[in-house]
Structure formats: C-alpha cells, structure tokens
Structure 1
Amino acid sequence: TAALRAARLAGAAGERARRLAAVLRAGAALAASDDLGRLLQDIAASGRELLDSDECAIDIYEPGTEEIVVAALAQRRADGDWRDWVGRRYRLDDFPADREVLLSGEVREERLGDPGLDPRNRAEMERNGEKTVLTVPLVRQGEPVGLLAFIELSRERRFTPEEVELAVALASQAAALIHRARLLDRLARQNRRLEALLASTRAITSSVDLEQVLDTVARTAAELLEADGCQIQEYDREANTVRPVAIWERQPAPGGKDSLGKVFSLDDDPQEREFLESMRVLEQHRTDPDLAPSTRAAFERYGDQAYLNVPLVFNGAPVGLLVLIQTRHDRRWEEDEVALARGFAEQAAVAIEHARLYRQAREQAVRDGLTGLYNHRHFYERLEQEVARARRYGTPVSLLMIDLDDFKAFNDRHGHLAGDAVLRGVAAVLQGELRQHLDVAARYGGEEFAVILPNTPRHGGGAQGGAGRDAGGGAQGAPPPGDLAPPPGDAAERVAERIRRRVAAASFCDPGGRPLKPVTVSIGVAVYPEGTRRPEDLVAHADAALYLAKRAGKDRVVTYG
C-alpha cells in the first residue's frame, strides 16, 4: 500500500514534470517566432497538448471594435476544420460572459450540464458540440489581449487546480509573446507603409492626366491603409457641395460607382462642411447614433461599416476629400494610421491640383477663346477619332456644318462687339442641345460652327430626343471610357432642326444690354459611312449640303445625298 501510494505520487510528479517541460518547450519555440499567425497557432497547439484537451483556441481582442477574432485553433482530430474557424469575428455584446472573463482577468470553467450556464453561451456550446470550456484571459500589463480556451467535445471534464495553474502559466507567457509579436508586427507594418507611401507618392506624381491621377490616388490610398475602398470627392466651397470624382473598391459591388459625377449638397450635413473647413480628419461609423441622415443613408445603401474622411488641402484651403471605406467589418483607425492617411492626402492634393491645372492649360490650348467651344485643330483631331471608332464598331457618325446667315451684314450694322455676343449665344445654344461628354461642338472659323454626333444616324435611329440628349450639359466631348462604342443618339436631322429653331427663337443682346435683330443659321448634314471613307469626305459632304441650304434660301437644314 505504501509502495502503491509512493508510485502514484511519483506518477503525478512525473506528469507535472512532463507538462512543465511542455510549457518550457512551448515558450522557447514561441520566443523564436516573429510571425504572429504562426506564433498563435503554435501557442494553441502547445496548449492543447499541455492539458490534453480536444481543442485549444486563441481569440484576440480588438478594443476598437469591441470584437473577438478567432486567431488560432488546434484540434486533436487530424482532419479538423480549424481553417474554417480562424478569422471569424464575434461582438462581445453578444457574449457578456466572455467580456466578463476578459475584463475581470478571472478564469472561467463552463460545462454544458451546469444549471447556471449563460443561455447564450449554452446555445453556442450546443451549436459547436462542446461539452466543457475552460477560458483563461490573456492579459499583459493589466491590459486585456485576448482569451485562451480549452475545449472538450467528447465529455464533460473538471480541470484540476494543477491543470488550471498550468493553463494560467501558458496564458501569461502567451500574452507576453503576443504583445511582443504585435509590437514587431506593428513596426514591420509601419516600415512597409512608409515604403508604400514613397512608392505611392511616386505613382501619383508620375502622370499629369487628371483621371489617371484620381484613379491612382483612390487605389493607392486604399492599398496603403488596407481599406476595402476609397472615394475621392471634389469640394466646391462657394456652392457648398461635394462631387465624387473617383472610386476604387477591393470587391466591386453593384451600384458602387453610381454616385460618380453626382453633386451632393452639404446643407444637410453641416458636420462634413465643418470638418472640411477646419481641415481635420473625421472618423464615422455605422453604429454612431448622431450621424447625419444623408451619411446614415450612404452607410445603409452601400453596406459600409466605417469611413475615415481626410481633407485634401492645397495652398492652405480645402479642395476635396479622401474617404477610406471599410465594408467587411467595423474598424477604428489607429493614431499612426490616421497620421499616414493625412500625410498621403497632402501629397495627393498637390498631385490632383497640378493635374487639374495642367488640364485647364490644355483645355485653353484646344478651346476657342471667344465661344469656349473646341477650336479648328481639335475639331479635326476628334473627327479622326470618331470616324475610326465608327469604322471599328460599325456605327454611324454625323457631322453638322452650321453657318450664321448674313453675318457680315449683321456685323456692319451692329458692330463686331455685338457680333461677338451673338457668336457666344449660338455657342450656348449648341451646348444646350448636345450630349455632355459625348457630342463635340467646335468653332470651325469666323461665323461657322461644326458639330460631331457619334453613333447618330441621319434620321430615325435612337429614341432619345430633346432633353434625352442631356440638354442640361455642355458639349465637352470626352471620348467614351475605354474607347467603347458610344450610346446611340437622336437622328442627326432632328438635332439640326432643333438647333436651327432654337437659334431663330433666341434673343441676343449687345454688350450694353440692348436687344439685337434675330439671327438665323443654315445647317448642312452629312453622315458616315454614307458615301464617305475619310474624315475629309465627311467635311466636304457637310459643306456641300450647307452650300445647298444657303442657295435654297437660308435658315434651313439640308442633308447631303
């Protein structure tokens, strides 16, 4: 009997020694690892072996979002599904018992048969097939780091005081190592971000094309800050509006870019105006109770969870907004991340404004100084492009040549300043009748104008007409994105007839505000590919039709052929 008792004591001592050796081996192995993910999985595997449990899980606490993330799971079964669990997130609000363990620093042991088990924990244990869970808080210097859980699936188990003591020892060691790994990971992440910031700065300053710069800024900002998306907004201080001009999404969603180009008033969101003018960063969350109605509507419409709004500042004034978007889950940006976003935004604002100034200079080079329409040289460049596109896609392109009737006599009677006012007025009529960013209006020379109508037949054709041609916009004539076939337009003859009537009905005034005599225009219409092979043929045909309109009595539309 004494020998049996001595043997049992020796066996227990040997088991404790074995387990203590496992703790020491685990500590040595963990200390040698700088990879946080591998470190956590090693801790879980060592813990499972140490207490001979079916599973051991490590949950990391994220105080910013008040969430628990399953970071590692070791299982006795060789064919376990641990990869399906790693990365799952749980709100602490849904598991108050876990919150209590995390914040109190006390160990908790739960068995499915315990009558006082929290109902939510009981439901979770039943759903996961768990019989017993021993939960040990991971605490470092009084701050909660996460949870270490030992799980039994096959039986209800009562862990011995020695086993709990071993679990607490491993948790203490693990918390210190996780803290160390987090610091190293944060330092490495900062270094990567600084390198990425330099690369991003080079990328956004390598082009002077405004659209390319905007797209690059949106993409690199999201990648730099590891966000799900980024939107660039243009700010108009006088109008108190913002307009999205670029959007990048890590996972493109339906309707995600439908706000591009739309103008949004800040009258309904004074908070956004305030932080823009104060040039400070604003963090917004879907869970914030005091969100402006327009901001809450955006969260709900797109399913976003958090925004980091960073003003774009140029020459000491706000010119726009860089919005980092978090969609998959809520996020609280750390102080160094906010500083990085602000630093990037400063570089981005300079690049965007320089590209905008370059575009303005380029626009001035291709614009007619009097009317603001495109000039003769740019007209021929665009005509070449549109004919090539029409040939490639098998679509028509129409050309209108427009000439003011008896304009020399008008100038002789009213003076050249009055004539200039009429030319500007006719240009405004053209801009009001054409499709914005698609049709091209140009001052061909003197009192003659030219209009290019992509994908527009002679007659019949598209159902769009009148306001359907986006009558509210100017004919800026940017080629369709990606060199795609443009959408069909109204019949060229109907467009020409509307222009003729609008000019005839227009009231023009001289620089002194005195009404001028009404003016009329004659219009010649030609259509590619009807008897034409080259842009020069199209111009010649439209000119010939214009000549016929003049000979037939003026103030009319004539189509070639």
Structure 2
Amino acid sequence: MSLPLIMIATALAAFTLGGLTMWPYIRQLDNQLADATWQLEHDPLTGMLNRAGLIAAHATLAEADTAGPIIVVLIDLDDFKPVNDTHGHNRGDDVLAAIGGRIADIATLHGGTAARLSGDEYAALLPVRTDELARIADAFVTLISEPVELTADSEPVTVTASVGLALAEATDPLEEMALRRADIAMYHAKHRGRNRYAVYEPGMGMPAAGHRRGPRLRDRRQLNGKATA
C-alpha cells in the first residue's frame, strides 16, 4: 500500500475511533437538552404542561393546516388555602397533583391537552368535536370534587373548582383573548356560588370587584412588575 493510501486509511481510522469515543458524550448532551426542554415546558409537581408549554401547544394548533375552533377551559380551585393550613403543604401538593391528573385525563379523553398555570389554577385546550359544552364542563366540575385519598389512615380531602369555558379559533391570541374570555367565565362561576361552571358569552364582563375573592396571583405579579419597573 502506498504511503498516501496508508495516511488516508490512518486518518479514517482515527476519525472513526474519535467518533465512537465521542458518541456517549454526544448522547448525554442530547439527553440533557431534551430534559432541559421538558423542564421549561412542564410543571415539576404534576408533570402537566406549564404556561410556557400551553402557549407552545396552542402555537402548534394555530399553525396546523386543520386549525379550527377550540374550547378553552380555565379551572380555579375554590378556597384551596385551608387544605394547606390543615394538612400541610406536602399533602396540599399531593392534592394538587391528584386534581391535575384528573384534569389531564379529561383533556386527553376529549383529544386535548391540559396545563397547570399556577398554584391552584389549571387550563385545558380541547378541539371542538361536540356542541355539548355543558357535558364537558360538568365532567371537570364533578371529577374534581371527588374526594382525594391522601393516605390509608387519613380522611379524604374534598376540594371544588370554578370552571370557565370559552369557544375560540385556534388562531386567536391565547392569553389576550381565549384565556381572558375563559377567565371572565370562570369568575362568573365563582360569583354564582362556586363548584360550578360558566360559559363565556359575547359581551360578558368581569364580575364586580366586590364579588371577587381578591386579586389573582398573576394580577399581583403584574402589579409588582409595574411597581419595580
């Protein structure tokens, strides 16, 4: 074999050996990247999408060739603070995770996806496959209110939720329009007695401040952001 061919063969062998040596490291980096991406879009407590993940899921729906109307669901647990006060935050987290699992199951059943937006606030995006909004909404309200078994030797914990639903086009802005309408409907459900749902109707406005439970967590964040700007 001529010297040039020997040199080429040696270079190829070295390149191949180097690639084999680097492959475990490359695979590790890929796994770390995938894990970091998952963490950016998911809630660590429930494994559901977080707000960023829900926005990404909505963007995928909006960009699809088959983009059509969707049902936007906003769910807020009623008076969840006493659960933490009575059972402790660890048990409270167990309840939040259990409720999140129920919400995710309903969303999946209807071909949609669900997210945990903040402490006791969840959301879901569902394709419009039926006009029976009442049946879907009632499923959320009913299943959430089922008792949660924390441990075998403790009393079950029961929480309820106020649920707001809104119809929107998949191409409508999510936070500025779709979730906003569902938010308005959800507060109407609270105003009507909680442990129930309301569907957004054109012209529906936010209930009077006197009937609301106080500033929402995201409203307080916005106010704090303005104060420090």
One of 452, 462, 472 as aligned partner of 2:125: 452
One of 148, 153, 177 as aligned partner of 1:537: 177
Q: Deviations over 1:140-173 (max 9, x none)?
A: xxxxxxxxxxxxxxxxxxxxxxxxxxxxxxxxxx
How many angstroms does 1:519 deviate by?
1.3
How many angstroms does 1:388 deviate by?
4.0
Residues 388 and 492 of structure 1, relative CA distance in 2, 3 Å threshold: farther
Q: Which is helix-richer, 1 or 2?
A: 2
One of 95, 102, 111 as aligned partner of 1:429: 102
Report matched runs for 1:10-159 at 5 Å.
none
Normalising by structure 1, report the TM-score: 0.30
Flag the structure with larger Rg. 1
Q: Which is strand-richer, 1 or 2?
A: 1
Aligned to 1:370: 45
Aligned residue for 1:537, secondary structure, equals: helix
Aligned residue for 1:433, secondary structure, equals: helix
Whether the 8 Å CA contact 1:522–1:557 is kept in 2: the answer is yes
How many angstroms does 1:517 deviate by?
3.0
One of 502, 515, 529 as aligned partner of 2:143: 502
Whether the 8 Å CA contact 2:107–2:125 is kept in 1: the answer is no
Whether the 8 Å CA contact 1:387–1:528 is kept in 2: the answer is no
Cα distance in 2 between the residues matched to 1:349 and 1:513: 47
Matched, 1:414 2:87: yes
Aligned residue for 1:435, secondary structure, equals: helix
One of 186, 201, 204 as aligned partner of 1:546: 186
Whether the 8 Å CA contact 2:147–2:157 is kept in 1: the answer is no
Aligned residue for 2:108, secondary structure, equals: coil
Aligned to 1:307: none
- Higher relative contact order by CA 8 Å / sep ≥ 6: 1 or 2? 2
Residues 500 and 352 of structure 1, relative CA distance in 2, 3 Å threshold: farther
How many angstroms does 1:427 deviate by?
1.2
Matched, 1:520 2:163: no
Report matched runs for 1:51-450 at 5 Å.
351-352=26-27, 354-389=29-64, 392-435=65-108, 439-450=112-123
Q: Which runs of 5+ in 2 are unaligned?
A: 1-8, 202-229
Cα distance in 1 between the residues matched to 2:138 and 2:31: 37
Aligned residue for 2:60, secondary structure, equals: helix
Whether the 8 Å CA contact 2:42–2:49 is kept in 1: the answer is yes
Which amino acid counterpart does residue 384 of structure 1 have in structure 2? Answer: A
Cα distance in 2 between the residues matched to 1:553 and 1:543: 16
Cα distance in 1 between the residues matched to 2:35 and 2:155: 33
Residues 539 and 556 of structure 1, relative CA distance in 2, 3 Å threshold: same
Residues 360 and 513 of structure 1, relative CA distance in 2, 3 Å threshold: farther
Cα distance in 2 between the residues matched to 1:541 and 1:522: 14
Which amino acid counterpart does residue 546 of structure 1 have in structure 2? Answer: M
RMSD, matched Cα: 3.2
Identity %: 27
